[in-house]
Amino acid sequence: SRGGIALTTIVITGAAGFIGSNFVRLALQRGYRKVVAFDKLTYAGHLESLAEVSSDSRFVFQKGDIADSQQVAALYAEHAPSCLVNFAAESHVDRSIDDPDAFIRTNIVGTHRLLEGARKHLAGLEDDAASRFRFLHVSTDEVYGSLGSEGAFTEETPYAPNSPYAASKAAADHLVRAYCETFGLPALITNCSNNYGPYQFPEKLIPLVILNAVEARDLPIYGDGANVRDWLHVEDHCEGIMLALEKGDAGRKYNLGGQGERSNLEIVDAICNALDELRPARDNPAMQERGYAHYSELKTFVPDRPGHDRRYAIDASRAEKELGWRAGHDLESGLRETVRWYLNHGTWRRAVQPTGEERKRRGQAPAL
């Protein structure tokens, strides 16, 4: 046991996605006796992201949908988890602009099904075991809306979601809170800023820019490129979630963020500089063909995302004080390592995006 939480069976939903697959690796390293990965394997979920751990005898993969009550009931009944961490979600803002339905179904209804499943599971446990159970819901800083040039989101910042994605995550957070208050469910919420690192699906800014650049395709910059995000390495995010799970108080929420504020343009420039060094244009036939000497020549300004939040920044002082959490990676070297990772993982790259179609522009729905 660590901080009162027994390291027995952990269920991780959305485990074949970006952050979930990184968290599975951490849970195994941490010594959990059984790690159950539950995932619907949507366009964003890939077993290749779990290939490294698939031979570990403590690891179980189960394909399933968090919005299906029967599958969720069977998940709790079969594995009797001591904790569940919910990463399963539709996660791409641009897709939520084109078609919000799946976001409502998975992010809101799905979270509700998991909460109901937990409530029924706990009803069958002794008081002691029930109070030691933890439900940790992984959320985003996007629930808080957009900031001006000053300040940072705290856990007390009122919710003001602007995209259908952010609204669906906010609704889920409210349900988790309500299950704590109403039913005494021992649940926690973490709200994190933008993540980067290995295994991120290449529809998101950083892997999309890396893969487009290597193929000498245009690098799309939304609007003026000045939108600011607070970038955190995925391993630091996973460490924060683990600490919240093991040391956090039930009913509490924790903001996690990296003190890594950068504009989109700064991120794209940093990637281009790293590529100039790691795969110079003179050694890249696609770049030769376009006659470019530097990757930054591929930058292309495109129309902005409707409702694009200007700036996010996280005040993580509660997690630092109460959980002893600190982000270990600095952004410059973390980003360089990330570029190197995508260059060196051709098998994974081809498995998750066989055509490059995943990188096409989405989310330009005209306003009414």
Residue of 142, 230, 235, 239 with catalytic role: 142
Task: Please say if 165 is a catalytic residue.
Answer: yes
Kindly indicate which of the ranges 86-94, 146-154, 320-328, 334-342 contains the residues binding ligand NAD, using the contact rule CB under 6 A.
86-94
Task: Please say if 128 is a catalytic residue.
Answer: no
Task: Please say if 312 is a catalytic residue.
Answer: no
Helices (DSSP H) in the chain: which residue ranges?
Answer: 18-30, 69-79, 93-98, 101-103, 111-123, 127-132, 164-183, 205-214, 234-247, 264-278, 285-290, 317-318, 331-344, 346-352
- Answer yes or no whether residue 87 interacts with ligand NAD by CB under 6 A: yes
- Answer yes or no whether residue 16 interacts with ligand NAD by CB under 6 A: yes
Residue listed under structure tokens 């021992």? 186
How many residues interact with ligand NAD (rule CB under 6 A)? 30
**Exactly one of 9, 13, 157, 227 binds ligand NAD (CB under 6 A); which one?**
13
Our CB check for ligand NAD shows the closer of 93 and 275 to be 93
Nearest C-alpha neighbor of 298 from the set 218, 205, 214:
218
Let me know: does 197 contact 232? Beta carbons within 8 Å: no
3-class SS of residue 172: helix
Let me know: does 220 contact 305? Beta carbons within 8 Å: no
- Answer yes or no whether residue 331 interacts with ligand NAD by CB under 6 A: no
User: What is the distance of C-alpha 226 from the center of its chain?
Assistant: 22
Q: Report the alpha-carbon distance of residue 313 to residue 299 in Å, rounded.
A: 25
Let me know: does 281 contact 289? Beta carbons within 8 Å: no
- Answer yes or no whether residue 17 interacts with ligand NAD by CB under 6 A: yes
Residue of 165, 179, 254, 342 with catalytic role: 165
Kindly indicate which of the ranges 33-41, 262-270, 271-279, 360-368 contains the residues binding ligand NAD, using the contact rule CB under 6 A.
33-41
Site string for ligand NAD, 95-114 (x = CB under 6 A): -----------x---x----
Q: CA-CA distances (angstroms) from residue 94 to 86, 98, 194, 225, 302?
A: 22, 7, 15, 16, 14
Kindly indicate which of the ranges 192-200, 270-278, 296-304, 332-340 contains the residues binding ligand NAD, using the contact rule CB under 6 A.
192-200
Token pair, residue 84, equals 């569940």
**Exactly one of 10, 11, 35, 65 binds ligand NAD (CB under 6 A); which one?**
65
Let me know: does 165 contact 96? Beta carbons within 8 Å: yes
Our CB check for ligand NAD shows the closer of 152 and 192 to be 192
What are the residues binding ligand NAD (CB under 6 A)? 13-14, 16-20, 39-42, 44-45, 65-67, 87-91, 106, 110, 138, 140, 169, 192, 194-195, 201
Catalytic residues: 141-142, 165
